[in-house]
Structure 1
Amino acid sequence: MRKRILLFLFIILQILLFHHVFTLAKTPENYLKGKFYSSVKNNFLIATEKMKDNRFSKTVIVMLESDENGAWGLVINKRLGTMPIALLI
């Protein structure tokens, strides 16, 4: 009888964990759709594996400016060398 109870609890636990994992794994919604220029400034852009441009592979960019004329930001997770921050800005 005890083995049946343990088996039942184990199965319930597995079902709950399975459901929890798939709930967390949902694809994030595109919150920038239709709001690109007003939403990107002061946000982080994180390159996904779907990007075809190798220059941005595994890159995190903090966007400092973004408008209809263009955008610029700083890559924050790749070391380029050492220099004063004033040269970058």
Structure 2
Amino acid sequence: MKLLAKIIFCTAAFSSIAFADDGFTPGEVKLNQQIQTQIKDLQAQQQQQLADLNTKLQAQIQKVQTDLQNQIQTANTQIQGQLKTMQDQINKNQQ
């Protein structure tokens, strides 16, 4: 997240310089264009990293949900079996 914050800060800082070409020398204009390209590349990388992280997080969440559902189902089955055994014992003792 620190890298993300740095990228955003640099984007904001350089954007004010990079997108204002009036009154600059040709060398400065070229440098500004290079900065603009680098900013766009960083933004694209950032978007891809965020998309990748989001996909990974969604997969992890889905796995945890599936695991929890399976554990709950197993526990429910065990409890139902125990309750049936106890009910059978109660019925047997009442006879």
| CA radius of gyration, larger in | 2
The higher relative CO (CA closer than 8 Å, separation ≥ 6) is in 2
| TM-score above 0.5, yes or no | no
TM-score range, shorter chain: 0.3 to 0.5
The two structures have a TM-score, normalised by structure 1, of 0.39
Q: Which one has the bigger helix percentage?
A: 2
The two structures have a TM-score, normalised by structure 2, of 0.36
Q: Which one has the bigger strand percentage?
A: 1
